[in-house]
Structure 1
Amino acid sequence: MSPLLRQGWERFTLYLPIILMGLLAMGTWWLVRNAPAPLPPASEPSQLHEPDYFMKGFSVKSFDATGRMQSEVTGDVGRHYPDSDTLEIDNVRMRSVTPQGVLTVATARRALSNGDGSEVQLFGNAVVTREVQPRLEFRGEFLHAFTQAERVRSDQPVVLTRGNDRFTADAMEYDNLDQVLQLRGRVRGVLMPAATR
């Protein structure tokens, strides 16, 4: 090998790593510039407030371990909404019986219940009646019943009838377990005297 060729080869091998690094850098730049844009992050599908099933002219009953009926719900149309796990019922009628045999009946033009039925909102000519002595009845355009806690409340005008006594109020909260009734706003009451024997 001639000295001139040998000197050229030595210079080439001296600069070869720098040349290779330059070619790799240019290749990387070209790949980045010509690569497709990254996909946008997949957004979660928005859950629409749409029913996943319907029931028409239905009746649903629940029983305890001994086979005794605890509650029954009937309605013209029922719609279940999976996004909120609620059941909306048109022209609802509900019955529940305590272990002591006390019957509670509720009716309304529309009801909205949570998934386990422990909370029910009644809309439009709502009536909740407890068949005890004396009979207890709540009436209003909106009643919010908590079935397990045995409470009824409303932030709208209500009429309460207990036996022959009648009360009206702008708002109400009733706790059956503590036997406490709170009437708020403009409260009016008519107390009938006990019948003499």
Structure 2
Amino acid sequence: MIRVIRQGWDQLSIYLPVLLMGLLALGTWWLVRNAPMPQLPAIDRPVKHQPDYFMKNFSVKSFDATGRLQSEVQGVEARHYPDTDTLEIDRVRMRSIGPDGRLTVATADRALSNADGSEVQLFGNAIVTREPLPAKPGAPAQPRMEFRGEFLHAFTNTERVRSDQPVTLTRGNDRFTADGMDYDNLDQVLQLRGRVRGMILPGKK
């Protein structure tokens, strides 16, 4: 009896490594099957130039800390594009009131503004008007100014207006036309480029 058991054990010991390898393979298969799948890196898909929200017949106003109106933007329709973080406005009208109370109005068939409104491009029948400012102690009067063209590029923070297309500038009774311009309101410098024509009327005595 003991001999039979020993022979059976010897035979089992021969197949024991194969049995253990089978169990190990089965355990490995079970672990792989039930282990959580690793998260694959997200595939960067190109962002399409499509608006993510609209506004129609809108008016947006901004005020300073004292409640004084600083600016207002109106339009028939506005579209925000997330890929460029820009706002496109149809039939835009913008009003801005400076610290000195001077009113600036801009209108156009279409406008394109960056995220913070520091750059605004005006397309089609673009007009930027700065209303006159009366004289104050130590500061002379400022006449009405108007820029006209099919394209005007306004930089609100630095108070500059540029264009690489024909423009018409009217300052008081004076009138100029040019193929392009760069106006710096802070430095009171106007550069006209290309074919420049002007009409300057004598001031009132």
The two structures have a TM-score, normalised by structure 2, of 0.75
Change over 3 Å in CA distance of 1:69–1:167 after alignment to 2:
same
Q: Shift of residue 117 of structure 1? A: 2.3
Which stretch of structure 1 is more off in the superposition, 110-119 or 23-32?
23-32
Q: Do residues 171 (structure 1) and 180 (structure 2) align? A: yes
Structure 2 residues not aligned, in runs of 5+: 133-141
The residue type equivalent to 1:165 in the other structure is D
Query: SS where residue 134 of structure 1 aligns?
Result: coil
Q: Shift of residue 82 of structure 1? A: 4.3
Q: Shift of residue 106 of structure 1? A: 0.6
Structure 1 residue corresponding to 2:154, chosen from 135, 140, 145: 145
Aligned residue pairs, count: 192
Q: Shift of residue 46 of structure 1? A: 6.2
Give the equivalent residue in structure 1 for 2:130: 130
Change over 3 Å in CA distance of 1:141–1:148 after alignment to 2:
same
Q: Shift of residue 134 of structure 1? A: 2.7
> Superposed, which structure 2 residues align to 1:1-197 within 5 Å?
1-3=1-3, 5-13=5-13, 15-22=15-22, 24-25=24-25, 43=43, 47-48=47-48, 49-56=50-57, 58-132=58-132, 133-184=142-193, 186-195=194-203, 197=205
Is the contact between residue 55 and residue 79 of structure 1 (CA under 8 Å) also seen in structure 2?
A: no
The residue type equivalent to 1:100 in the other structure is D
CA distance in 2, matches of 1:196, 1:100: 25
Which stretch of structure 1 is more off in the superposition, 46-55 or 70-79?
46-55
Change over 3 Å in CA distance of 1:163–1:42 after alignment to 2:
same
**Superposition CA RMSD, Å:** 3.3
CA distance in 1, matches of 2:68, 2:162: 28
Q: Shift of residue 188 of structure 1? A: 0.8
Identity %: 68
Is the contact between residue 179 and residue 196 of structure 2 (CA under 8 Å) also seen in structure 1?
A: no
TM-superposition CA deviations, 1:121-179 (whole Å, max 9, x none): 11101011112323222111111112122111122222222233333333322221122
CA distance in 2, matches of 1:94, 1:125: 14
Is the contact between residue 71 and residue 96 of structure 1 (CA under 8 Å) also seen in structure 2?
A: yes
CA distance in 1, matches of 2:63, 2:190: 30
Change over 3 Å in CA distance of 1:142–1:29 after alignment to 2:
same
Is the contact between residue 103 and residue 130 of structure 1 (CA under 8 Å) also seen in structure 2?
A: yes
The residue type equivalent to 1:157 in the other structure is P
Query: SS where residue 16 of structure 2 aligns?
Result: helix
The two structures have a TM-score, normalised by structure 1, of 0.77
Q: Shift of residue 104 of structure 1? A: 0.8
